[in-house]
Structure 1
Amino acid sequence: MSQPAHLRQQAEDLASPLPPLLAAAEHLASTVMLGIHGRRRSGMGDEFWQYRPVQPGDELRTIDWRRSARSDAQFVQQKEWQISQSVLMWVDSAASMDFSSDKNLETKGHRARTLALAISVLLLRAGERVGMTASAAPPRSGEIQLMRLAELLSDESTDADYGEPDARGMLPNSRALFISDFMGELAPVEAALTKAADRGVRGTLLQVLDPQEEIFPFDGRTIFESMSGSLRHETLKAGDLRDRYLTRLAERKDQLLHLCQSSGWQFGTHHTGDSAQAALLWLYSAMERI
């Protein structure tokens, strides 16, 4: 089996248990709508959804005068969104994502790609258009697009130690998903989220880490080397670095969370030693909330 087909099969297998899991989650059961009609949210559709009070900025022509006449307040009709939404993804393919602390664990990159393709399966089946940033694969729907995404996710690789989010090709008022370890410089992440926010793009940022990166189990003489080999640090007392490392990791998570909150994005952390199904469920839920 070719690598793209194998990755797609893994993503399909990962996505297949989601409907029962979503049905068991009450906060998702009322919002998940599979099929061509997309997500149940207010928008430019034709079907009535609900009334809401008039808000500043609403045009007079949108007021439902018949409903308003039955109370002291004025109301407008909200329509159910029936236009497919565009979701653009960036998945880090830098050298740092090739790390795995145990041969029985997936690399961060493999887990990130599988999750990205699995969420694509679910979004496409829900009638959304999914693509990659930088116009590598403009957002489209259908099975052919799923195979195209699998090919891109299988082929992408860079020599850089750490990845930088690419916000090119972001469509106004679309949604986005960034998956990385976010262990490199923070400035490119901030720039990408700022650019996305300027275009009205809201999204989800998922940080994928190896379990060792959370606990720093090293002690004594240790040589730390980046996956590309370009960075190297040797110490005789690795244990002395633990507290400083864990403090900086916590600070990085707080910074990412703050950036997401200020941009209207969702933020989460996933460890490769944890359930991929749980991460996919969280991702799907996060995409529903934006």
Structure 2
Amino acid sequence: MSPTLQNEALQSRAEALGQSLPPLLAEAEMLAATLMLGEHGRRRAGSGDEFWQYRAAHQGDPARAIDWRRSARSDGHFIREREWQAAQSVTLWVDPAKSMAFSGGRERPPKGDRARLLALALAVLLLRGGERVGLAGLAQPRSGRSQIVRLAARLAGEPEAGDYGAPETAGMVGHGRAVFVSDFLGPIEPVEAALSRAADRGVRGALCQILDPAEEEFPFDGRVIFESMSGSMRHETQQAGELRSRYLARLAERKDRLSELARAVGWQFSTFHTGAPAQSALLWLYRALEGGR
């Protein structure tokens, strides 16, 4: 490619990014604001300035840790605990593969759009709470407002060529947190391998499966041509309705397997649909990270 054509292609991609980035970021910040979570609470005892709770003193607690004013109001001794406030590193992976471009209805967003929105809204919440957030293989975990813009730019990139994505673990911080957002409809082996690598580094987190309602219900009958988003796979049937029970059984097996894999390494798993409001998925993700602390 000549330098002129390269410059034109670069300019075209830059203009497309400039058009897509502000809406994605604005929508993510609006979604994050709907949760009204306030300051990000770590909800466990540790070093910090904020009071968390009183607890009864146990044998072995140093005398200097006792809150004598609180203890004077009862017959026992109490320890004043502060809330743990050390920042955590959270690494996000959002499936960029072609399968995420699917939407079964004009009124519903593609799965990839919902996945990117959720990831960026979660990043907004975490960064506002002082955490460090990054994208696996694309952006190292950092804190601050500028990181939100950086993540939005990375998420607005072009999709990959393949039908299904493999979770990326590059950039994960040991003993940090991670979130994988995907339809998880491709080969299961890459998911197993990624979770194993994460577990070896002490990383815990959540698998968030995004599906279109059509993929959940299989509302097809009669003659149907099924084609992958990349066009590499194609299947034509005259009696699609007869495939429904087998398809739903396979989907249930896949969900069970993902749940088992997550449970085995201390992660959480849940499925959400593009036809439902995004708030429930965002709240679940936020709480899932809290629960892994």
TM-score (ref. length: structure 2): 0.83
Q: Deviations over 1:218-248 (max 9, x none)?
A: 1111111000000111111111110000000
| Distance of 1:120 and 1:266 partners within structure 2 | 18
Residue 80 (str. 1) matches residue 97 (str. 2): no
Residue 130 (str. 1) matches residue 133 (str. 2): yes
Q: Tell me which residue corresponds to 1:2.
A: 19
Larger Rg: 2
Q: Deviations over 1:67-122 (max 9, x none)?
A: 7xx9xxxx999763221111000000100000001111100000000010001111
The residue matched to 2:141 in structure 1 has which SS? strand
Q: Tell me which residue corresponds to 2:112.
A: 109
Q: Tell me which residue corresponds to 1:160.
A: 162
Residue 270 (str. 1) matches residue 272 (str. 2): yes
Shift of 1:47: 6.8
| Distance of 1:159 and 1:52 partners within structure 2 | 58
Q: Which runs of 5+ in 1 are unaligned?
A: 23-31, 55-59
The residue matched to 2:156 in structure 1 has which SS? helix
| Distance of 2:57 and 2:235 partners within structure 1 | 61
TM-score (ref. length: structure 1): 0.84
Q: Deviations over 1:123-142 (max 9, x none)?
A: 111111110112x2111111
Q: Deviations over 1:164-201 (max 9, x none)?
A: 10011211100001100000000000110111011110
Q: Tell me which residue corresponds to 2:290.
A: 288
Q: Tell me which residue corresponds to 1:14.
A: 31
| Distance of 2:255 and 2:242 partners within structure 1 | 22
Q: Tell me which residue corresponds to 1:33.
A: 39
The residue matched to 1:204 in structure 2 has which SS? strand
The residue matched to 2:172 in structure 1 has which SS? coil
Paired residues of 2:39 and 2:128 also in contact (CA < 8 A): no
| Distance of 1:194 and 1:76 partners within structure 2 | 39
Letter in 1 for 2:230: S
Letter in 1 for 2:127: L
| Distance of 1:111 and 1:170 partners within structure 2 | 23
Aligned length: 262
Shift of 1:43: 4.2
Cα 1:46–1:97 shift into 2, 3 Å: same
Q: How much is the aligned-residue C-alpha RMSD, in angstroms?
A: 2.3
Paired residues of 1:208 and 1:271 also in contact (CA < 8 A): yes
Residue 94 (str. 1) matches residue 108 (str. 2): no
Letter in 1 for 2:96: S
